Structure 1
Amino acid sequence: MSAGRPLRIENVPLARRADTGAASAGYAAWLNTGWEGFHQQPATPEQLEEMLQAHEIDARVLTGVYDDSLPADLVDPLVPVATYASFAKTLNIGASLVPAHLITLVTVRPTHRRRGILRELMTGDLARAKAAGFPVAALTASEATIYGRFGFGRATEQQTLHLDVRGDVRFHAAPAGSMLQVPPHALEGIAGRVFEAFHASRRGSVGRQEAYLRHATARWGPEGPVPDPKLRAAVHLDAAGEVQGYVTYAFAGWESKPATLTVRDLVATGEVARREIFRFLASIDLIERVSHPFAAANDPLGWALEDPSRISYTGREHGLWVRVLDVPAAFAAREYRGSGNFTLRVSDTQSLAGGTYAFAVRDGRAEITELVGDAPADFSCGAAALGPLLLGACGITELVSAGLLEPTRNTPAATLAALLDLPGVPHAINGF
């Protein structure tokens, strides 16, 4: 941060007032500043309590940047000029889950831009995350061009799937199991368990924060921590009566044209349960379209329908951005194909993951060793390429064509592709 302006970075405790038990004034000022950055209204006392509870459960670490030069008669000294938060979950790399340092609610007030605030917050936090043993950090970015300079690479994409449900929607497969409509609060003991099964099976999935359970049970609505009376829910049961998936949804209103049912959350332990949930949604009366955000770039539903033209997509955008902090630990949790050897040189302006690494791949798993000195490498890349490379977000040939990965010893890209290219694409069904 530039000299001459007394800015200070402080941790903001998840604290309550001693006299009332309500959220502290410092926490309230921090949260409202973060919400203002995303154009949300200030929180009511009830919303502050809900948010504080959720942040306590997530064990979030909150950081604020304060400008002591601002006139105290015009600006509350407790109000930060920038916000930053982090918490820990897991990321499915493919072969296993790894601890992930998740970054969220990053805002800088327009009056304090271009002063190095974000850089100081981000570089310091990533260094601490690496020291704490996290192999990766991740975030969901509202603007795609901000975080590449900090070594984050785009790892997943998402889009909104629209299913035309006018008339008879036919599926190739016969119905399996059964669907049961339930009140949203019935998901209290179901949602977390179903998500964990999905999370363990899907490359690119990231662990969920407390907010998702509160949304699923209608305790929170789409606009924040207020009850959601419009929410409806259903679960899919297999032949043994075990819950294998759930969906929450709401009618978009009679003014929506075509009449639309919006999926709020859809989680299934497998593709059969997911297909049956869509079969159920397509059967709801007085609806012409079902819209599902957070669909994958290669969503399989079209193959399940006799008429795939019923599906259209809008709003394709980047989802999860991943920053590798420890190359050996992160890439050991990845899937590979076959056996082989290669070396990779990583340049990293933040000195977190830079170096030359030898990969020994045997039967789909790898041992990674950092080499000392100026060892030769088969390929080189910057830190931002490690995220998509780690999760198999695209093929090796595409990374080379894009200029993100460079052969340095005339090693054919096909040699590396034979080891690292994976079927399908990584997918995360939630943000944070």
Structure 2
Amino acid sequence: MSHEREIPGRNPRSFPYELRSFPVRLVDGVVPEEVAKWSQAVALGFYGDAPTGENLAKFAVLEQADGRMATGAYLKDAAAPAGAWGPEYPVATYAYHRKNLNVGGGTLLPVHQITAVTVRPSHRRRGILRAMISSDLAQAKAAGIPLAALTASEATIYGRFGFGVATHKCTVEVATRGGIAFHNPSAAAQGTVEVADPLVVRDLHHEIFARVHAATYGSIGRHDMYRLVASGQGNYASMTPVRNIRAALHYDDAGEIDGYVTYRPNEEAKPPTVEVVDLLAVGESAYLALWNYLGSLDLIERITWTMAPEVDPLEWAMAAKRDYNRTGTEDHLWLRILDTPAALAARHYLSDGSITVHVGDPLGHASGIFRIDVVHGMATVKRCPEDGSVEAELGLGVSELSSIYLGAVSARTLSAAGRVREDVPGAVARFDALFAPPGPAHSLTNF
């Protein structure tokens, strides 16, 4: 997750900062001083609890499991005013870890996940974010990572660095007074659901998520902290366990666990409401059965969830569709293609065809003219000479291509928005036919 308000524009002042990178980890069982002060700066930017020594150690263990690398921007040759944080504290923070992204066809593509981006308010508009992100993306590209990803706290920052919205998440309210009536009740009654201790979810999380991730188009890998978030045992804002969290597990017909939900009451909401903390289901049967269980909670009239998919089977399974209320939709996962041939060749295609496109990239990583040939759902992507001997049929920026990549938007829509250029009549329609997604993409991961 990122939190930064840098305003575009060239700053004539010199760059009085040094960028330093280091792994987040314990050394001889102790949190290194640079990690501790970097973590304090992150907490400042996100208004989290100032981490204590004990919590710093917990964070370091979790982040070490992910291979997280931290970067800080530090003032060079400058003394802090009396009473202020000293130059050993970074004025800006940045981090990454690497997981994978489900791009369809059974492919989990390596992805560079950016997080913990902050800039201290007193040091904004000085090019710090640009320096950090430009250096980091160049290193990821050199390491052979085809895609970068982030989830943004604010929506207007990252487009200029080549990122594009790739998935959305929805906030939903489901009226449950008297239970949820289903068009096909048997579809929501497969297997069994039983109450469990939330600590069981903590221990099961990685295994269940791996199965859901492998089956969910658009899903991106979760970091180790998620097993605590899902079970209410802690998060980056506070490591105090959530009060009154509950859990239920779904068992398939063979008695194997294939899903869970964790939830808690919202004691201030009217009507009586339960909030879903995390819900993972390996298949549709487990998904509907867990919702059937939530609908059966006594004294509860509404269930809310902030991570629902844009296209939700529950909405169409309910006999009273109007009891499913989508109260908000916002951008969630942002992608940034770094290697155009590698990213496009990894993606699964539903139809065959060919097209030549020009991709613009302000940082140069993904730019060029590319010939895309798809045969039996597999793409071959060749870089073409840019000497005028090859003419592109369609032109777009890397931000636009990154949004199209999983199907968040069509080239036709972006063309109407003035963000895709059709150089050959019919190219937009052919491009959209080629890039049609296998289904709606859904990411279940905040980072």
TM-score interval for Structure 1 and Structure 2 normalised by the shorter chain: over 0.9
Match of 1:235 among 249, 262, 283: 249
Q: Distance in 2 between matches of 1:28 and 1:2?
A: 33
1:153: which partner in 2? 164
Q: Distance in 2 between matches of 1:306 and 1:24?
A: 57
Q: In angstroms, what is the RMSD of aligned CA positions?
A: 1.7
State the secondary structure of the residue aligned to 1:373. Answer: coil
Q: Distance in 2 between matches of 1:4 and 1:413?
A: 44
The residue correspondences of 1:219-368 to structure 2 (distance < 5 A) are 219-220=233-234, 223-253=237-267, 255-368=268-381
2:3: which partner in 1? none
Question: 1:158, CA displacement in angstroms?
Answer: 0.6
State the secondary structure of the residue aligned to 1:190. Answer: helix
Does the 8 A contact of 1:135 with 1:325 survive in 2? yes
Does the 8 A contact of 1:33 with 1:80 survive in 2? yes
Does the 8 A contact of 1:298 with 1:424 survive in 2? no
2:402: which partner in 1? 387
Where structure 1 has 5 or more consecutive residues not aligned to the other structure, the ranges are: none
Question: 1:414, CA displacement in angstroms?
Answer: 2.0
Question: 1:279, CA displacement in angstroms?
Answer: 0.3
Q: Distance in 1 between matches of 2:54 and 2:35?
A: 14
1:120: which partner in 2? 131
Mean Cα displacement is larger for which, 364-373 or 158-167? 364-373
Question: 1:221, CA displacement in angstroms?
Answer: 5.4
Match of 2:44 among 36, 45, 54: 36
1:142: which partner in 2? 153
Question: 1:140, CA displacement in angstroms?
Answer: 0.3
Does the 8 A contact of 1:187 with 1:217 survive in 2? yes
1:71: which partner in 2? 80
1:184: which partner in 2? 198
Q: Deviations over 1:274-314 (max 9, x none)?
A: 11110000101111111111111122211111111111122
The AA in structure 2 aligned to 1:106 is: V
Q: Deviations over 1:99-125 (max 9, x none)?
A: 000000101111111111100100110
Does the 8 A contact of 1:84 with 1:104 survive in 2? yes
Confirm or deny that 1:58 pairs with 2:66: yes
Confirm or deny that 1:401 pairs with 2:409: no
1:106: which partner in 2? 117
Does the 8 A contact of 1:2 with 1:116 survive in 2? no
Change in Cα spacing, 1:221 to 1:262, as seen in structure 2 (3 Å) is farther
1:215: which partner in 2? 229
Does the 8 A contact of 2:43 with 2:237 survive in 1? no
Change in Cα spacing, 1:222 to 1:10, as seen in structure 2 (3 Å) is closer
Q: Distance in 2 between matches of 1:103 and 1:379?
A: 30
Change in Cα spacing, 1:124 to 1:107, as seen in structure 2 (3 Å) is same
Does the 8 A contact of 1:221 with 1:228 survive in 2? no
Q: Distance in 1 between matches of 2:381 and 2:158?
A: 26
Q: Distance in 2 between matches of 1:213 and 1:161?
A: 23
Q: Deviations over 1:72-129 (max 9, x none)?
A: 6432222110000001000111221100000001011111111111001001100000
The AA in structure 1 aligned to 2:165 is: R
The AA in structure 2 aligned to 1:187 is: V
Q: Distance in 1 between matches of 2:109 and 2:119?
A: 30
Mean Cα displacement is larger for which, 49-58 or 213-222? 213-222
Q: Distance in 2 between matches of 1:305 and 1:338?
A: 33
Mean Cα displacement is larger for which, 310-319 or 411-420? 411-420
Change in Cα spacing, 1:221 to 1:368, as seen in structure 2 (3 Å) is closer
Does the 8 A contact of 1:157 with 1:296 survive in 2? yes
Question: 1:245, CA displacement in angstroms?
Answer: 0.8
State the secondary structure of the residue aligned to 2:74. Answer: strand
Identical columns (%)? 39
Question: 1:3, CA displacement in angstroms?
Answer: 4.8
1:424: which partner in 2? 439
Q: How many matched pairs?
A: 429
The AA in structure 2 aligned to 1:376 is: E
1:132: which partner in 2? 143
Q: Distance in 1 between matches of 2:393 and 2:239?
A: 51
Confirm or deny that 1:413 pairs with 2:428: yes
Does the 8 A contact of 1:152 with 1:322 survive in 2? yes
Does the 8 A contact of 1:47 with 1:226 survive in 2? no
Q: TM-score normalized by structure 1?
A: 0.95
Q: Distance in 2 between matches of 1:370 and 1:332?
A: 12
State the secondary structure of the residue aligned to 2:225. Answer: helix
Question: 1:169, CA displacement in angstroms?
Answer: 1.8
State the secondary structure of the residue aligned to 1:210. Answer: coil
State the secondary structure of the residue aligned to 2:297. Answer: coil
Q: Deviations over 1:313-371 (max 9, x none)?
A: 22321100000011111111222232211111101111100011111111222111111
Q: Distance in 2 between matches of 1:395 and 1:24?
A: 47
Q: Distance in 2 between matches of 1:17 and 1:91?
A: 31
Does the 8 A contact of 1:342 with 1:378 survive in 2? yes
The AA in structure 1 aligned to 2:431 is: L
